[in-house]
Structure 1
Amino acid sequence: MADSTDGDMEIYDLKVTVDRIEGRSVCGMATGDSFELVNSAHLRLPEGKHFCVYALAAVLPFLAAKQRDLAAGDWLAQDSHFACPDPEERLVMKVERTCRRTMNSADLT
């Protein structure tokens, strides 16, 4: 087991933002609404805001990969936009890396 003072992995904190809505917003979200994923697995929403669970479900499978360094040719290293599955809404989210942090994997698993 690694010493808890020494980080053995580096990951990124992420911010997921509604980039655009090309249809009609049926979930009550608007362009600019967002959440942050910090400290590996902590989801933070701005005070008084919400994020549609279906939009979250669409982007969630990609977040663990976006937190890590990826090969230069990996499509996920180049793409940062993800779409909600609701065809009426056509909500598009952008995933951005906000900071890189060193963590101890023994504290997380």
Structure 2
Amino acid sequence: MEDDSFELYDLKVEVVHRDTSRPMVCRHQVGDHFYLRGGNLEFPVERPRFGYYAMLAVLPFLMAKQRPTQRTDWMSTDAEIGCTDPNCGGAFRITRLDKQTYRHSEYTKEALPPA
């Protein structure tokens, strides 16, 4: 049987105050965070919220940040996404954590194409 494994990074997404010359005008607060493990978002019990607009800022980047990339790829080095409000000094830092191994067969019934 063909090996159908692949690896993804676990991610932590955290609110930071990147541009201190501008105030944090949105409802997110420094330190608000969540984890992405595989296809699951996990929120800490002590702070189980993360703003909808903040989530919209980071969602397009999460799948790419989960996947291994070359050292020279900007996705390997750039980790902060600015808030969608241009007046807000906040940003969202995406940190790669441990790699986990998953199996194609556990996520889809589509067959792998021939190698």
Residue deviations 1:11-34, cap 9 Å, x none? 111000112164333432211110
Residue deviations 1:23-47, cap 9 Å, x none? 3334322111101001x21011112
Identity between Structure 1 and Structure 2 (%):
37
- Name the TM-score, length of structure 1 as normaliser: 0.84
Q: Is the 8 A contact 2:28 2:54 kept in 1?
A: no
What pairs up with 1:39-58 in 2 under 5 angstroms? 40-47=38-45, 48-58=47-57
**1:9 correspondence with 2:2:** no
Q: How many residue pairs were aligned? A: 105
> Mean alpha-carbon deviation: is it higher for 86-95 or for 74-83?
86-95
Q: Which runs of 4+ in 1 moved over 3 A?
A: 21-27
State the SS of the aligned residue for 2:105. Answer: helix
Equivalent residue number for residue 20 of structure 1: 17
Q: Say what the alpha-carbon RMSD is for the aligned residues.
A: 2.0
Largest Rg, 1 or 2: 2
Unaligned runs of 5+ residues in structure 1 are none
Equivalent residue number for residue 105 of structure 1: 104
Q: Distance in 2 between matches of 1:105 and 1:25?
A: 41
Unaligned runs of 5+ residues in structure 2 are 109-115
- Name the TM-score, length of structure 2 as normaliser: 0.80
Equivalent residue number for residue 64 of structure 1: 63
Residue deviations 1:53-106, cap 9 Å, x none? 111111111111111110121111111111111122231111111211111122
